[in-house]
């Protein structure tokens, strides 16, 4: 009997000691629909959030898609509640400049430029545009591709889309139709569809220095890990489409 009482008292002391070695942590954020990781473990998907943590150092990470991730080391004390409030800022565009489709599609030589300077400027503009396209900068998108999941052809890998062109300069220059297809394997198609019904569409250009001619080389839609070529067609079945990597 005495032994059982002793065990009970020891257990109670251990529990009390364990409880005493914890401290409170309160986290708030703007926006509040964020993922809160503490020591690489997901604790919450919304703030404010309060939790008891062991005394000592812990690593807090706050994430939200499209926002900059915040990571901070905190020190938990038994003497009170540790509080934090984070404001997650938008991820800045990967390119320092906005897209300039007029310069690309209707290049004009300045009266103070030599022919060589003009060619160099346009060449650099094309290179910058293509690089920003590869970086998936939303300012360089010219349309939104609406996927038609119910019309995906599992045998030919053809994925029909409706294209909503939103750039007036591009619409004026090319007068694209609003239907298209991309060739994409089933697993990639499923992943793309899971990411949403609508995806940005970009243009990739080519510049011939000899002829000083700019041509549209590719129409692209961004997948999970790569771009896919989009074939713009007047009829759903009238296409030739490549599945090569960008």
- Report if residue 10 sits inside a domain: no
| Same structural domain, 135 and 220 | yes
- Report if residue 127 sits inside a domain: yes
Taking the C-alpha atoms of residue 237 and residue 193, their distance in angstroms, rounded to an integer, is: 21
Domains in the chain, number: 2
Taking the C-alpha atoms of residue 168 and residue 105, their distance in angstroms, rounded to an integer, is: 12
| Same structural domain, 118 and 225 | yes
Taking the C-alpha atoms of residue 246 and residue 233, their distance in angstroms, rounded to an integer, is: 20
| Same structural domain, 106 and 227 | yes
pLDDT at 243: 37
| Same structural domain, 111 and 44 | no
Q: Which long-range contacts (C-beta less than 8 Å, at least 24 apart) are formed by 1-6? A: none
Of 87, 111, 144, at which residue does a domain stop?
87
| Same structural domain, 26 and 79 | yes
| Same structural domain, 80 and 107 | no
- Report if residue 46 sits inside a domain: yes
Of 87, 112, 127, at which residue does a domain stop?
87
The secondary structure of the chain in percent helix, strand, coil, rounded to multiples of 5, reads 25, 40, 35
**Which residue range forms the structural domain that includes residue 81?**
21-87
pLDDT at 64: 92
HSE at residue 234, side-chain half, CA atoms within 13 A, is 1
pLDDT at 4: 54
Six-digit token pair at 178? 């609003």
Single pTM value for the model: 0.61
| Same structural domain, 83 and 124 | no
| Same structural domain, 62 and 148 | no
- Report if residue 239 sits inside a domain: no
| Same structural domain, 111 and 209 | yes
Of 87, 113, 134, at which residue does a domain stop?
87
Identify the CATH number of the domain in which residue 40 sits. Answer: 2.60.40.10
Helices (H), the chain: 2-20, 101-105, 115-134, 168-174, 186-194
pLDDT means per 10 residues, the chain with 246 residues, are 50 47 93 94 95 94 91 91 93 85 92 92 93 92 91 90 91 84 87 86 90 88 82 51 36
pLDDT at 232: 74
Number of H helices, E strands in the chain: 5, 13
pLDDT at 1: 52
| Same structural domain, 108 and 214 | yes
| Same structural domain, 224 and 109 | yes
């Amino acid at each position: 009997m005495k032994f059982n009482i002793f065990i009970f008292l020891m257990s109670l002391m251990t529990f009390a000691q364990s409880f005493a070695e914890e401290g409170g942590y309160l986290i708030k954020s703007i926006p509040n629909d964020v993922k809160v990781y503490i020591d690489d473990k997901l604790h919450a998907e919304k703030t404010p959030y309060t939790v008891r943590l062991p005394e000592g150092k812990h690593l807090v990470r706050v994430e939200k898609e499209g926002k900059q991730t915040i990571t901070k080391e905190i020190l938990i004390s038994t003497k009170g509640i540790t509080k934090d409030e984070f404001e997650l800022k938008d991820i800045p565009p990967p390119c320092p400049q906005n897209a300039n489709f007029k310069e690309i599609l209707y290049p004009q030589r300045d009266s103070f430029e030599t022919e060589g300077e003009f060619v160099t400027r346009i060449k650099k503009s094309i290179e910058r545009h293509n690089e920003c396209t590869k970086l998936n900068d939303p300012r360089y998108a010219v349309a939104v591709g609406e996927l038609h999941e119910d019309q995906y052809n599992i045998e030919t890998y053809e994925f029909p889309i409706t294209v909503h062109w939103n750039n007036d300069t591009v619409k004026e220059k090319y007068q694209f139709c609003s239907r298209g297809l991309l060739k994409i394997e089933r697993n990639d198609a499923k992943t793309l569809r899971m990411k949403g019904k609508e995806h940005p569409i970009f243009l990739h250009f080519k510049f011939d220095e000899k002829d000083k001619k700019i041509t549209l080389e590719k129409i692209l839609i961004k997948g999970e890990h790569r771009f896919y070529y989009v074939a713009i067609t007047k009829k759903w079945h009238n296409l030739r489409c490549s599945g090569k990597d960008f």
